[in-house]
């Protein structure tokens, strides 16, 4: 019995330390893409279109804009927990910005949404988790500059214009009404709020 207690106390402490380290790392990595800058969605009523065809047209439009070092790929994201179904998204990544677009039939219509996410650096995430001073220290070491604000604005303008052009082209070719000005506006967030 004494041997059991000895090993339990000796290795139990190691297990607790490993568990705490795992939880801290999980917390850091799970917040990597939590900062969304903007989002947008629309439902085009009485309209049917192929998700894959929409992604193909959008990828071509995004690539034809001359933005250097942009990566465009189709990704499969979970709808919920580990055992949930997956949904197909088109992802455009440029610098620290990630633009995820979803297009899918919904009822009698076709739903399109996107999220513009800002990926914080690993160093910024680790520093921001320091108790009491992490937020302040992260703001000092990783300040929000005009350049960061401008690049976020440029990328969202570029990406939203590409999405709207594809929507306009396909709705016009099928004789469906165009989106109103109100339907075309994204919802902006403070991307750099910490």
* Span 137-180, pLDDT tens digits: 988 998 988 998 888 888 888 999 999 999 999 998 888 888 88
Q: What are phi and psi of 123, to 5 degrees?
A: -60, -45
Nearest Cα neighbor of 89 from 76, 106, 98, 70 is 76
- For the cut 70, the answer to whether the pLDDT of residue 181 exceeds it is yes
| CA distances for 61 relative to 42, 160, 176, angstroms | 19, 11, 21
Give the residues across from 140 on adjacent strands.
none
User: pLDDT tens digits, residue range 98-112?
Assistant: 999 999 999 999 999
Query: For residue 191, what pLDDT band results from cuts at 50, 70 and 90?
Result: low
Q: What is the reported pLDDT for 125? A: 81
Please give the structure tokens belonging to residue 25: 């790392």
Total-model pTM: 0.73
Query: For residue 31, what pLDDT band results from cuts at 50, 70 and 90?
Result: very low
- For the cut 90, the answer to whether the pLDDT of residue 11 exceeds it is no
- The label of the residue with tokens 């939880």 reads 23
CB contact set of 104 (below 8 Å; sequence gap of 6+): 51, 87, 110, 111
CB contact set of 78 (below 8 Å; sequence gap of 6+): 84, 85, 86, 87
- For the cut 60, the answer to whether the pLDDT of residue 42 exceeds it is yes
Give the chain's length: 194
Separation CA 96–CA 78 (nearest Å): 22
Please give the structure tokens belonging to residue 127: 């520093």
Q: What is the reported pLDDT for 135? A: 87
């Amino acid at each position: 019995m004494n041997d059991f207690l000895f090993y339990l106390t000796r290795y139990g402490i190691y297990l607790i330390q490993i568990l705490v380290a795992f939880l801290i790392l999980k917390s850091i990595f799970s917040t990597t893409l939590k900062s969304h800058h903007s989002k947008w969605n629309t439902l085009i009523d009485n309209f049917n279109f192929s998700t894959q065809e929409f992604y193909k047209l959008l990828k071509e439009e995004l690539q034809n804009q001359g933005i250097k070092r942009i990566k465009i790929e189709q990704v499969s994201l979970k709808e919920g927990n580990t055992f949930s179904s997956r949904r197909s998204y088109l992802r455009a990544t440029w610098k620290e910005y990630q633009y995820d677009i979803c297009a899918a039939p919904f009822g009698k219509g076709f739903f399109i949404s996107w999220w513009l996410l800002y990926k914080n650096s690993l160093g910024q995430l680790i520093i921001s988790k320091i108790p009491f001073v992490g937020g302040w220290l992260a703001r000092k070491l990783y300040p929000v500059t005009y350049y960061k604000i401008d690049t976020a604005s440029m990328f969202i303008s570029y990406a939203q214009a590409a999405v709207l052009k594809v929507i306009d082209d396909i709705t016009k070719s099928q004789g469906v009404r165009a989106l109103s000005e109100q339907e075309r506006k994204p919802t902006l967030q403070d991307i750099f709020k910490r």
